[in-house]
Copies of this chain bind each other. A is one copy, B any other.
Amino acid sequence: MSRTKTAFLFDLDGTLIDSVYQHVLAWKTSLDAEGIDIPVWSIHRKIGMSGGLFTNILLRETGLDATPERLDRLRKNHAAAYKELSGSVRPLPGARELLDYLTEQGNPWGIATSGRMETAGHNLAALGVDPAKVPVVTRDQVKYAKPDPDLFLTAAERLGVDIRDSLVLGDSIWDMIAAKRARGLGVGLLSGGYGEEELSKAGAFRVYADPADLLLHIDEVAARA
């Protein structure tokens, strides 16, 4: 039996990069500036979906109009506040090693993030990923971000792989929902701060602590060379 090498489609923030909590507090700052008072944990639970969808939902919950000007201010203030906090952002334990391992083994891999290249660029550099060599799909390139399946479907397409032979690796329930909708197999990581059961309930068929833990148990989800 000939076996196709399993492809790995990664989310970025909270999955390969330790940046979720900084994004959460940056959104808190941005929402505060608009007079939108949302508890921080509930921002955390929405992180990872499309920024536009995220702000739309929050505005709907608070009864404010989602005018283009307001959405634009929210996005810009978030980016500015994130920049302030991003000094402490680093790759997650094992992230670089996991990507190197996949490259050596010949497993195709790519990155699909709800963020824009404007914020993702710095993180890719910290990871040592060159978007000229590795498929990186950002919010800028698809019409609908997570929990829609488009980001992961586009990443699979770029790699020339069938999403049904692919793993979708993410830290948020939006990744797992997008994985299901794309017919990929969702693998959850706790490194974005969601609980194990939240990820399992959202469709993760396995959950690991972080990229290092996944690398340690990689035989559970993908065949060796």
Contact = CB atoms under 8 A, between A and B. Distances in A.
Contacts of A175: none
A52 interface: no
A44 B18 CA distance: 13
Interface residues of A, number: 30
A39 B22 CA distance: 12
A93 B18 CA distance: 29
A37 B90 contact: yes
Interface string A174-212: 000000000000000011111111100000000000100
Given A21-B41, A29-B88, A197-B197, 7 more contacts: A18-B39, A21-B28, A21-B40, A41-B191, A44-B193, A195-B196, A196-B198
A88 B193 contact: no
Interface centre among A18, A29, A41, A192 (most CB of B within 10 A): A41
A39 B198 contact: no
